[in-house]
Amino acid sequence: MATTEQPARSIGARKLRKEDPELITGASRYTDDITVPGMLWLSFVRSPFAHARINGIDTAQALEAPGVVAAYTAADLEFAAPLFMAFPLRDLKQPPHWPLAKDKARYAGDPVAVVVADTRARAKDAAELVSVDWEPLPAVTDVMAALEDGAPLVHDDLGTNNAGTWDFELDSPAPRRADPGPYFEDPELVKVTGEYFLPRLIPNAMEPRSVLCEPNVAQGEYTLWTASQIPHFIRTFLTIELGIPEAKMRVIAPDVGGGFGSKLEHYGEEAVAVAVARELGRPVKWTEERAEGYLATIHGRDMYQRIELAATRDGQLKAVRVKLHAAMGAYLRVVSPAIPMLGAWLYAGVYDPEAYDFAYDMVFTNTTPTDAYRGAGRPEATYAIERTMDRLAHELRMDPVELRRKNMITKDKFPNYTIVSGLTVDSGDYQGTLDKLLGRLDYEGFRREQAQRRQSGDAKVIGVGFSTWLEMCGLAPSRVLAALRYAGGGWEASTIEMLPTGTVRVLIGTSPHGQGHVTTFSQMVADQLGVEYEDVEVLHGDTQVVPLGLDTYGSRSLAVGGIAAYHAGEKIIAKARTLAAHQLECSEDDLEWAPGTFTVRGTDRSVDIKTLAFAAWSAHDLPDGYEPGLTATHIYDPPNFSWPHGAHACVVEVDTETGSVSILRYIAVDDCGERINPMVIEGQVHGGVAQGIAEALFEEARYDEEGNLRQGTMAIYMIPGAPELPSFELDHTVTPSPTNPLGVKGIGEAGTIAAPPAVIGAIVDALSHLGVTDVERPATPERVWRAIQEASR
């Protein structure tokens, strides 16, 4: 059977998403959409105080309320272990975090009891009838205040609010080039210091969290639906916390409405739902209300930064030294203590100094725990270095672009260049993205216009800010994670099955929540196996369907999960080759593979993979010892991170009379290696940049002196809507990663990493002629106006 027809190449095509039809017609299935017979509702009783002793909890009145089935406090629900924390760093103080607080509440929103009733409304009504005898205690919510002598202690038995210090010299598995100490003593070098506070952010995935647990009492089995990025991890964590055998714990992340790190988490409500379902033998559901979520779902950032640069007078960067104080909140959640560490090697950005140091303190405060928020550690690093490069340029009276270009690691150093912080970067062309950016921007034209505006005396001035960014993502090589004291691995798994009727089933251990994995993975597998895009089904997010997986975070899904699928595909092809040689009565070496078909070299004799799949399934005529079926699993552990990079510019107009900022242009030139679906990639950049702009201009969560969250509802916390954001101008370069066979890198966090310094840098640039050198984040009109007033004093 000769065939020359092959499906059109799918990689690189802007394929419309397979995910969309259900999402645009209302046929989607998020956790709160799911109802099972006999289902009860949970409502949590939470602390109204940031810090308070619990002298007693009386649930009697709640238990008498209509529809109420049960009520539990920490004393009533047994857990085998506290909530799992996955990064036991060196000498880390790790107080146990129980799903319901036992003796003290440590942040406003800390859950202390749960009420179970037959409807959502009745559960909530009854929760308000639970009476807690609170003894309010002094609270501390600011990181620096928490480190002062005499500060209220979040965990009194620790004797300090400092949970630990991560120190580059002691804790980095990779040695840095040199200690920067002597550089900062050298009188010949110019030094600049940047000090920044990165406000606390609320992730605001549009879908609130939701949990539904259905027990099978007779078998001791539990199914948990949860709005999560990490169903596999949650299965393991719940096993540890509840003593349920792992094989009897099924976790399903159905359609999940965004995560941005807030669902790279395991929450007490999940453990409580399983515990209550076990107690009652009935299914229970809890869905977060948004204001409740503002207290109960992790926050991001909340960090003080101090970064010092030393450079020669002609602008050669010599040394970088960084110290951070990072809020943990009241407890350490799954990866809280490691979030600043994810930036530990990146505070020199794309530059190439000689010496480097980095350290941070992890600080408890009476606040909602912090954990991963889009970019997690890398936006923080990029902000510090990029803003401070601007300061250095200002100090040296150099153009900020010229300073950047002068210090960039050059393209000829790649592949696999070991940067100052000791890690090895796979590939990059930093000048390439910058050149493309400047071409699009018309930098010289912009500077002319800026000067004209200033000369004309117009109250509205313009500025441009740059961010030439680098990140490490594709988390992560397991041996590196081990050296970093992470509890788990960084591999990913995929199984590919050629079904007898010619379609292909792909199981992936990543767990998407908007990223379009089904589409992207379909494109890859279709091309590799030479089948139609439409013939590939991708399954994910259910530990019973896809038992192997380490889920989605850290821009890892393509660069790790995708490569697992690629290798599974290679195994399929290798196995099919053996069968093809058997069928075509030739040696395997005589076969040529073009996606979809084996041909005997130099002949027209061929067989296609669908025919082989059927033959492998029927098993009627297989080589001796051949395992029936055309199925393969691959577990892939990446040898390195992936290191995408790019150059962004933001052009703003600032009204010097009101302090208001308008974004006139936002240009992003990114390089994530080979591009599977450009449409999906652009979508990731759009959303990431929007979140980065929001972080720079709008969003902050602050506490009042008593520890109440001031931005306690979505009506107050400033999430940008369509009028607040511009259209974005995107471009790209392609520098394939040599680390993996597809040459891909991650892109999910890029925009959020890149955007904040470009935006703030643009505002400062617009106002530089007035003497403004920095604007606090978020740069609200009031803060911009104050910066102008203070500079003019």
Is 778 an interacting residue with respect to other proteins (CB under 8 A)?
no
Stretch 745-764 residues interacting with other proteins (CB under 8 A): 751
Residue with tokens 């397979």: 18
Is 1 an interacting residue with respect to other proteins (CB under 8 A)?
no
Nearer to other proteins, 16 or 451 (CB): 16
Number of residues that bind other proteins (CB under 8 A): 57
The residue type found at 131 is S
Give yes or no for a contact between 705 and 765, defined as CB atoms under 8 angstroms apart.
no
The residue type found at 658 is T
Choose one: 62-70, 168-176, 508-516, 594-602; the region binding other proteins (CB under 8 A). 508-516
> Distance between CA 414 and CA 311 in Å, rounded?
24
Choose one: 346-354, 428-436, 511-519, 625-633; the region binding other proteins (CB under 8 A). 511-519
Residue with tokens 């960090």: 303
> Distance between CA 523 and CA 508 in Å, rounded?
14
> Distance between CA 417 and CA 548 in Å, rounded?
33
Is 120 an interacting residue with respect to other proteins (CB under 8 A)?
yes
State which of residues 219, 397, 727, 793 lies at the interface with other proteins (CB under 8 A).
727
- Nearest approach in angstroms of CB 658 to other proteins is 20
Nearest residue to 87 (alpha-carbon basis) of 164, 146, 168, 174:
164
Nearer to other proteins, 122 or 378 (CB): 122
Is 407 an interacting residue with respect to other proteins (CB under 8 A)?
no
- Nearest approach in angstroms of CB 647 to other proteins is 19
Q: Which residues contact 657 (CB under 8 A, 6 or more apart)?
A: 459
Is 37 an interacting residue with respect to other proteins (CB under 8 A)?
no
Choose one: 202-210, 321-329, 425-433, 541-549; the region binding other proteins (CB under 8 A). 202-210
Choose one: 109-117, 204-212, 426-434, 608-616; the region binding other proteins (CB under 8 A). 204-212
State which of residues 429, 682, 695, 749 lies at the interface with other proteins (CB under 8 A).
682
Residue with tokens 């095509």: 13
Stretch 689-708 residues interacting with other proteins (CB under 8 A): 689-691
Q: Which residues of 5-41 are buried (b: 16+ CB within 10 A; e: fewer)?
A: eebeebbeeebebbbeeeeeeeeeebbbebeeeebbb
- Nearest approach in angstroms of CB 43 to other proteins is 14
Is 715 an interacting residue with respect to other proteins (CB under 8 A)?
yes
Q: Which residues contact 448 (CB under 8 A, 6 or more apart)?
A: none
Stretch 618-657 residues interacting with other proteins (CB under 8 A): none
State which of residues 2, 23, 75, 594 lies at the interface with other proteins (CB under 8 A).
23
Stretch 584-613 residues interacting with other proteins (CB under 8 A): none
Is 731 an interacting residue with respect to other proteins (CB under 8 A)?
no
Is 207 an interacting residue with respect to other proteins (CB under 8 A)?
yes
State which of residues 63, 586, 725, 770 lies at the interface with other proteins (CB under 8 A).
725
Q: What is the per-residue binding string for other proteins in 514-553, x denoting contact by CB under 8 A?
A: xxx-------------------------------------
- Nearest approach in angstroms of CB 260 to other proteins is 7
- Nearest approach in angstroms of CB 719 to other proteins is 5
Choose one: 108-116, 245-253, 416-424, 682-690; the region binding other proteins (CB under 8 A). 682-690
> Distance between CA 201 and CA 183 in Å, rounded?
35
Q: What is the per-residue binding string for other proteins in 262-291, x denoting contact by CB under 8 A?
A: ---------------------------xxx
Q: Which residues of 450-459 are buried (b: 16+ CB within 10 A; e: fewer)?
A: beebeeeeee
Q: Which residues of 606-644 are buried (b: 16+ CB within 10 A; e: fewer)?
A: bbbbbbbbbbbbeeeebeeeeeebbbbbbbbbbebbbbb
Give yes or no for a contact between 423 and 345, defined as CB atoms under 8 angstroms apart.
yes
- Nearest approach in angstroms of CB 722 to other proteins is 4
Is 476 an interacting residue with respect to other proteins (CB under 8 A)?
no
Nearest residue to 335 (alpha-carbon basis) of 703, 88, 527, 592:
88
DSSP state of 770: G
Sheet strands (E) in 421-509: 424-425, 460-470, 492-498, 504-508
Nearer to other proteins, 419 or 558 (CB): 558
Nearest residue to 201 (alpha-carbon basis) of 261, 269, 118:
261
Is 683 an interacting residue with respect to other proteins (CB under 8 A)?
yes
Nearest residue to 735 (alpha-carbon basis) of 671, 677, 681, 680:
671
Is 31 an interacting residue with respect to other proteins (CB under 8 A)?
no
Choose one: 174-182, 244-252, 303-311, 675-683; the region binding other proteins (CB under 8 A). 675-683
Asked if the bond preceding 415 is cis, omega within 30° of 0, the reply is yes
First to last CA, the chain: 85
Is 257 an interacting residue with respect to other proteins (CB under 8 A)?
yes
State which of residues 1, 5, 8, 25 lies at the interface with other proteins (CB under 8 A).
25
- Nearest approach in angstroms of CB 256 to other proteins is 7
- Nearest approach in angstroms of CB 66 to other proteins is 12
Choose one: 17-25, 94-102, 338-346, 536-544; the region binding other proteins (CB under 8 A). 17-25
- Nearest approach in angstroms of CB 36 to other proteins is 13
Q: Which two tokens stand for residue 301?
A: 């950032």
Nearest residue to 11 (alpha-carbon basis) of 612, 529, 778:
529
Nearer to other proteins, 516 or 596 (CB): 516
Residue with tokens 């804790």: 171
Residue with tokens 């990079």: 645
- Nearest approach in angstroms of CB 200 to other proteins is 17
Nearer to other proteins, 208 or 329 (CB): 208
- Nearest approach in angstroms of CB 289 to other proteins is 5
> Distance between CA 378 and CA 744 in Å, rounded?
19
- Nearest approach in angstroms of CB 649 to other proteins is 16
State which of residues 208, 215, 549, 778 lies at the interface with other proteins (CB under 8 A).
208
State which of residues 713, 734, 771, 792 lies at the interface with other proteins (CB under 8 A).
713
Is 39 an interacting residue with respect to other proteins (CB under 8 A)?
no
- Nearest approach in angstroms of CB 665 to other proteins is 13
> Distance between CA 790 and CA 767 in Å, rounded?
12
Is 204 an interacting residue with respect to other proteins (CB under 8 A)?
yes
Q: Which two tokens stand for residue 11?
A: 């990689």
Nearest residue to 293 (alpha-carbon basis) of 174, 210, 407, 404:
210
Nearest residue to 143 (alpha-carbon basis) of 262, 306, 294, 333:
306
Residue 157 to residues 53, 93, 106, 153, 726: CA-CA distances in angstroms? 14, 10, 13, 8, 50
Residue with tokens 């500060």: 151
> Distance between CA 407 and CA 315 in Å, rounded?
8
For 295, list phi and psi in degrees, rounded to 5: -95, -35
Is 87 an interacting residue with respect to other proteins (CB under 8 A)?
no
Nearer to other proteins, 466 or 728 (CB): 728
Chain residues binding other proteins by CB under 8 A are 16-17, 19-30, 32-33, 35, 120-121, 204-208, 255-258, 260, 289-291, 513-516, 679-680, 682-683, 686-691, 713-715, 719, 721-723, 725, 727-728, 751
